[in-house]
Amino acid sequence: MSSGGCGLSDLVRLNLRQDVMKEFGSVYQQQYAVALFNSVRYEIEGGGGAQSQLLHRKDPLAGRSIFSGSLFQYLEENRKWRNRFVSVPNSYTISLHESKTAHERGLHPKGTINCAGYKALTSMEEYIDLINTSLPDVKAKSGSNPFIKCATQFPLILWHPYARHHYFCVTTEKEQKKWHAVLQDCVRHSNNGLSEDCTVQTPAFTDSVRLHRQAKGHYGTWDMMCGTPPQILANLVMESLHPELRSVIAPRLRGKMQQRQKHWMLISDALYRQVLSQTTSQYEALAEACEALRAPLDGGLRTDMDQIIASKEHVSSKMRALVLPKAEQLLRTNVQPYISSILEALMEPSSRGFSEVREVFFRELVEISKNLLNGGGKDKLGDPMERLSMLALHPVKMQSCYEKVEQLNLEGLQQRFDLASPSVFVTQQVQMDNAVYTFEQLLNQSLETQGEDDMCKTIQRCQDRVLKKYDYDSSTVRKKFFRESLLQIIIPYMLQQLSPSCSPELPRFKELIFEDFSRFLLVENLFEEVVLQCVSKDIMMAVKEAAVQRRHNLYRDSIILSNSDPNLHLLEESPQVDWAAKFGGDEPEGPVGDGGESEGGGSGSRRRQVVSMIQLDGIPLSFESCMEVPGVEIIPEEDAEASEEPMSPDSVTGIRDLINPMVKLAPPVSKESPSDMTNGMEPTTGTVTWEDGEQDGVTHVTPTVEGGEQDGVTHVTPTVEDGEQDGVTHVTPTVEDGEQDGVHHKDQVFF
């Protein structure tokens, strides 16, 4: 790296020595053929678990927008807070608009945020702790002021280990909690960017990432497996590139502690955007190339499936003779004693989370019944039923369910098994929506066949049927979750322990595989399957024993409700009920800018908004979220030109300026006569003492001013905002007359 700095393209090329994308592409092509084999085999042989008792809504988000409202956003360009109208459509990508009017007119947003990989924070203390980890040698002192002055006491911060951070705030604690729940939901949904409907591409991708990281010695779960494939690949590249970049750049950053942290984040964001751009184009090309080969591969698989399966079983039996003795010994001594502890750690919070889903659903139905009994009547049933239909998508109402699961405590097990807390929020949300959708269809059917008399009893009967089905499905889903979580925790540990002794032996098994089948049968995958089969027996027994003991309301596998409501699943093909049109209700709320006509069968030209915080007409603005910008006494706003901060650099000059910042001076014209002035510069020793006590020598400061020429200044001691003095060795300002003035000592005030 040159002394003057480097361009982002050069920084990205630093990682070419490791050939991350090239190595990943090779692994992906291999795993694509394996995933295609598994998909076709599953299609031919069939299989699957117990049938769900609840109905499943095909597209819960159709015709919905999640949230919209106003808050403050910190603008890094001028270091000021400005009011922004924020909308969250059903894609969960945050859109920032100049105003509510601009959004309703369909104008392009000021910016958008994809929340994959972010963390939603509600305090500056949390944020400071995280940014202190970005530059290990540059940490804020306890109680020191952050470089962001929050406008209110209720901040909302989106933090990312590589990308740009986003700063917001609101005026009340109540709104902070609501916005925080919404932001967390955006993060969860954005993190879940791999489609389960892609039965070939998704398994091929996830296995490729896992095998690539295992080859680098990284076993176990990865907390940056977030977002779409290009985003995950960008995180994969940054995992190795980021530390290298930090070791090169961090020692050269100059300035106060907060300024160095700020400049490092700008450089990191610029690099991340460059990497993401490359991974996007490269993954698209890779996926397209593999898809082009799918048809001939699929044809060959269906023709030779029996022979491929027989060959796989033959090789696996030979491999088991090598692997099983070692695996069973490791299992007995290092894994079996901990299975019950891990299972209990998983069962307690996840079961509380699913119980909370049931309780939230039950409370909503009780409220509907209360409204009917208190004189609401059937004409008022439309609004509460419309709200119920969106319950699973409501971040605030579902927050208590997610919090129960987030209490999962695996303390003491991380070091042994290198695990992270699994997330089940998607499953919780799906189960809630299944319960709601089933209730809607049953209630609608009952009202059509039995009439609308005594609606409370009808609601009660439908409620009891749905809760019974929910309990069964909840048990089935949780048992599956426990088995998969135990495998995700134990298998990486087993592979890490067995690989040193088993991996050197694997190449000889390739000789047993016919060349025509070698694309679909890889010895690395067969080795993992042998280990998985060894562990699965103990895991299945542990979960089965917990179900037999009815711990946490689990059902035994022998209990099957296959014959209950045999005609219920016929309702799954019925159109979604429009309760507002059927029983009357208010005009559906939600901005028109998120998609116009409703796609989910709902009435009206506006999308229905899940969480309501938009100010209605006629209500004073003081009740709306953050509609007024705080005064100067809350946020000291500097002059835009003087306080302009650098954006993420995209060039050699941009990064060089962050590493070697320039000091700009504008001294007054000297009143001394020309004869008393010294032309040229007389070097002296100078240092700058920063806020954290570190001293940096200053060798040359060359400001750029309008005159275009330079004046030599022998010694200048500027006084900065905090009252400290910085020694500067050489300062060469240019005054208005274009001549050079020698100044022996001047005090210059910095702002």
Read off the pLDDT of residues 358-412 as tens digits, 9 standing for 90 and up.
999 999 999 888 888 877 666 777 888 888 988 999 999 999 999 888 777 666 5
Write the burial class of residue 610 (CB in 10 Å: 0-12 exposed, 13-18 middle, 19+ buried). buried
pTM for the complete prediction?
A: 0.79
Task: Round to whole Å and give the CA distance between 201 and 194.
Answer: 9
pLDDT of residue 635: 37
pLDDT of residue 140: 57
442: closest CA among 429, 419, 421, 458? 458
Q: Which residues contact 328 (CB under 8 A, 6 or more apart)?
A: 534
Q: Which residues contact 183 (CB under 8 A, 6 or more apart)?
A: 94, 115, 120, 156, 158
Run of H or E residues at 340 = helix 336-371
Task: Round to whole Å and give the CA distance between 101 and 537.
Answer: 61
Chain CA centroid to CA 178, Å: 18
Question: pLDDT tens-digit profile of 677-697?
Answer: 444 444 455 665 555 555 555
User: Measured between alpha carbons, how far is residue 738 from residues 11, 322, 732 in Å?
Assistant: 40, 84, 12
pLDDT of residue 647: 57
What residue has token string 């946020």?
Answer: 635
Q: CA torsion, points 235, 236, 238, 244, in degrees to nearest 10?
A: 160
- The one-letter code for the residue type at 139 is K
Chain CA centroid to CA 176, Å: 19
Judge contact between 502 and 326, C-beta under 8 A. Answer: yes
Task: Round to whole Å and give the CA distance between 309 and 311.
Answer: 5
- What is the bridge-based pairing of β-strands 608-609 and 64-75? parallel
pLDDT of residue 417: 65
DSSP 8-state symbol, 100 = H
DSSP 8-state symbol, 53 = S
Largest CA distance in the chain: 108
Task: Round to whole Å and give the CA distance between 135 and 263.
Answer: 11
Backbone angles phi, psi at 70, to 5 degrees: -115, 145
First-to-final CA distance of the chain? 34
pLDDT of residue 689: 58
Q: Which residues of 54-85 are buried (b: 16+ CB within 10 A; e: fewer)?
A: bbebeebbbbbbbbbbbbbbbebebbbbebbb
Task: Round to whole Å and give the CA distance between 279 and 647.
Answer: 23
pLDDT of residue 746: 41
Low-confidence ranges of the chain (pLDDT < 70): 1-18, 47-50, 136-146, 376-378, 409-424, 451-452, 557-568, 570, 572-573, 584-608, 612-751
Write the burial class of residue 148 (CB in 10 Å: 0-12 exposed, 13-18 middle, 19+ buried). buried
What residue has token string 């045999």?
Answer: 566
SS3 501: helix
Judge contact between 207 and 35, C-beta under 8 A. Answer: yes
DSSP 8-state symbol, 642 = T
Judge contact between 301 and 37, C-beta under 8 A. Answer: yes
In 3-state terms, the chain is what percent helix, strand and coil (to 5)? Answer: 55, 10, 40
Judge contact between 72 and 78, C-beta under 8 A. Answer: no
